[in-house]
Amino acid sequence: MFAAADALGSSRTGGVYVDDSGQPVVTVTDEAAARAVRDAGGVARQVTYSAATLQSVHRALDAYAGIPGTSWGVDPSTNQVSVELDSTVGPADTAKLTAVAERFGTAVRVDRIGGKLEKAEVYTSGGDSIRNVYSSLYCSLGFNVQTSSGNKHFVTAGHCATGTQQWYDTASGQYLGNRVRVSWPGNDYAVIDYTQNDVTAYGTVNDDTQQITGSRYPVDGESVMRAGATSNDLVGAVLLTSTTVTYSSGETVTGMIKTSLCVMGGDSGGPLYHGTVALGITSGGTDTDEACSSGVSDRRSYFQPVQEVLTVAGLSVY
């Protein structure tokens, strides 16, 4: 039905919407256009205003953009430009926009809505998916950390960050910050400075369900959990606390924590922890293209000790 609307052009249709039954509806401005839509097997509804007219009204209202708590846009289901004012819009601005709207008659509808219009805030915690600007590289956030003066950073895998300076939150697309430290190979860590002030960085991991309050080096045999963008909430055990690993791609890392956990592609950089204690940053493992499950198995994964990173960089978890 979008093709039928496109064929009519913006002067003979008011746009397309999906009704309460899930049926696409093409709004049209004349009976001939309605017949064309029906002949194409679609549902037509005749309306007063064309898309071109409503878009022109929208552009006129844009001259008044900048009043906090206001929004407007074309609503094809009502064949109007919908203007909404939140609870913070005062009498003077309300009167101004109402007067402008009245110039366009029934082509504009003004509604008051409750609450306060705010930009969506980004929250990050360990295990969240992060990406580069081109969305060609996906890794996981390890732990949110801070300097002694309270400046927020996060740690992730160094092999993720060697070629990536700027990092973004995958879910929202929000820019997070710049890489300020990276070590790979030999070690496998990177530190990213939260240069974007609109991000709330929680001191938690695993979808914000587990608080992290401290950090240390691991203990052989202790039970551990990890989280990541691809797979998480997995339980295993520390097998070795300091391992030298050479990956199939040829890079060697030393001092890695070896565990019975499995990891998958995209989990790199994610957190390894025991209760509220941060232990490591996901580096790699075996069979990363296969699904993960909890428990000790023949799978192996390796983690950069996070305490080493925090000590070198002068950072701490919170």
CB distance 315 to 290 below 8 Å: no
Q: Residue 311 corresponds to which tokens in the numbers above?
A: 């000590």
pLDDT for 196 equals 73
pLDDT for 73 equals 82
Q: How far is CA 118 from the centre of its chain?
A: 17
Asked about 268 being catalytic, the answer comes back as yes
The owner of tokens 């890079």 is 251
Asked about 208 being catalytic, the answer comes back as no
Contacts of the segment 273-277: beta carbons below 8 A, 24+ positions apart: 273/126, 273/205, 273/210, 273/212, 273/224, 273/225, 273/226, 274/218, 274/222, 274/223, 274/224, 274/225, 275/210, 276/210, 276/211, 276/212, 276/213, 276/214, 277/212, 277/213, 277/214, 277/215, 277/216
pLDDT for 57 equals 94
pLDDT for 119 equals 47
pLDDT for 125 equals 93
The catalytic position among 50, 159, 260, 267 is: 159
pLDDT for 226 equals 95
The rounded radius of gyration (Å) of the Cα atoms in the chain is 27
CA distance 102 to 288: 61
What is the residue type of 158? G
CB distance 204 to 278 below 8 Å: no
* Alpha helices (H) along 15-124: 31-39, 51-62, 91-102
The catalytic position among 50, 128, 153, 188 is: 188
What is the residue type of 51? A
pLDDT for 232 equals 76
pLDDT for 233 equals 65
The catalytic position among 50, 125, 140, 268 is: 268
CA distance 316 to 202: 13
Per-residue pLDDT of the chain (318 residues), as tens digits, is 567 778 889 999 998 887 878 788 999 999 999 999 999 999 999 999 999 999 999 999 998 888 888 888 888 889 999 998 888 899 999 999 999 999 999 999 999 988 766 544 567 899 999 999 999 999 999 999 999 999 999 999 999 999 999 999 999 999 999 999 999 999 999 999 998 777 999 999 998 899 999 999 998 888 899 999 998 767 888 888 989 887 888 888 989 998 989 888 899 999 999 999 999 999 988 877 778 866 556 678 899 999 999 999 999 999
Torsion of CA 226, 227, 231, 235, to 10 degrees: 30
pLDDT for 294 equals 66
The CATH superfamily holding the domain 122-317 is Trypsin-like serine proteases (2.40.10.10)
Single pTM value for the model: 0.67
Residue of 234, 211, 230, 232 whose CA lies nearest to 170: 230
CA distance 310 to 176: 20
Q: Residue 55 corresponds to which tokens in the numbers above?
A: 């878009």
pLDDT for 164 equals 94
CA distance 306 to 309: 5
Residue of 210, 231, 119 whose CA lies nearest to 172: 119
Domain boundaries, the chain: 2-46, 51-112, 122-317
For the domain spanning 51-112, the CATH number is 3.30.300.50
CB distance 191 to 153 below 8 Å: yes
